A = this chain, B = another copy of it.
Amino acid sequence: MSKYVLGHNQYGKAENRIVKVTRKGNDGSWHEIRDLNVSVALRGDFRDVHLSGDNAHCLPTDTTKNTVYAFGKEHGIDSPEAFGIRLAKHFVSSQDPIREAQIRIEEFAWERIPVPTRRKQHSFVLSGREVRTAQVTYSETTGLQVISGLKDLTVMNSTNSEFHGYVKDEYTTLREAYDRILATKVTARWAHSALAADDPEHDWDRSYTKVRTHLLDAFAQTYSYSLQQTLHQMCERVLDHCPRVNEVRLNLPNKHHFLVDLEPFGLKNDNEVYFAADRPYGLIEGTVHREGVQPVIATSDWIVA
């Protein structure tokens, strides 16, 4: 017995790297690949594991790893979300002490290397552009929650960005900008409605492509007066076009590009030469969701009652 309370706890195997090759065509010479990094977290009745080291309720993390690979073979990988849903439901339904499972997946995209022979398609190059993410949580009591996302999508507008009219206090030295570079490395997450999550026919890949396109479009087409405004436009655009998405959260580091002072060298820098800085960086984060919807995407906030 402990005089203290065991609060939120979870365990599992993180970062299981699985690559799945699917052979198509009459002779199987058309290959498709999916390349995932799968993390499993289990929640439930693990009190004795913590208090006495009695492992009778503990499914080893090694077993959860095996399950990821076995499911890759048994059920294939239609999409990160579908794979995550299958895994999450399995752990909760197959083991009594497990009440909730959360599967987090990163997907690395590969593109074909063009080859002259049409059929022999088995060569790929890693598209380093962004990492697709999915977080699936299945709970015995509250059911399924699917959050899709992406990270490391770096974008830049070389004009059409201003920043002025802000508060000035005694520590303000920033000059107002009427034409600046706006660059950010997008981390996006969007929560799907129960309608989508519970629909076995939901096309997760198509949904992903659609959201990604709208995020890029909104970034490119917004004349920006603040990165917050761009963030809001990006979220709105997704909600406007994707009826089964209920909530969008963006994390946008402002990757500062500072105009270099070339005057000491007798040169005029007419918004041409920039120093790309590492740290510090502005960090703009925000959620936009539909009315009447309870936001579910985790923030870095402090949890209050």
Contacts and interface: CB of A to CB of B under 8 A. Distances in A.
A72 B224 CA distance: 27
Contact of A174 (B60, B129, B300): B60
A4 to B, nearest CB: 5
Chain A interface bracket (under 10, 10 to 19, 20 to 34, 35 or more): 35 or more
A140 interface: no
A265 to B, nearest CB: 5
A285 B9 contact: yes
Contact of A275 (B13, B69, B70, B275): B69
Contact of A125 (B20, B113, B153, B171): B153
A300 B303 CA distance: 11
A11 interface: yes
B113 A126 contact: no
Contacts of A79: none
A193 interface: no
A59 interface: yes
A199 interface: no
B274 A5 contact: no
A73 B262 contact: yes
Interface string A218-238: 011100111111011001100
A173 B289 CA distance: 44
Contact of A300 (B130, B221, B298): B298
Interface centre among A130, A173, A220 (most CB of B within 10 A): A220
Contact of A229 (B13, B51, B94, B253): B51
A291 B55 contact: no
Given A166-B56, A299-B8, A3 B291 contact: yes
Interface in A81-97: 94-95
Interface string A252-295: 01100100101011010101111111111111111111110111
Contacts of A264: 66, 173
A257 to B, nearest CB: 6
Nearest to A295: B7
Contact of A54 (B165, B289, B298, B300): B165
Interface centre among A9, A145, A217, A291 (most CB of B within 10 A): A9
A287 to B, nearest CB: 4
17 contacts: A2-B236, A3-B291, A6-B286, A7-B247, A19-B257, A21-B272, A31-B158, A41-B283, A53-B226, A53-B228, A62-B173, A66-B171, A70-B171, A73-B269, A94-B169, A129-B129, A171-B265
Given A51-B232, A135-B302, 8 more contacts: A4-B290, A8-B286, A15-B279, A18-B273, A59-B166, A60-B166, A72-B273, A110-B156
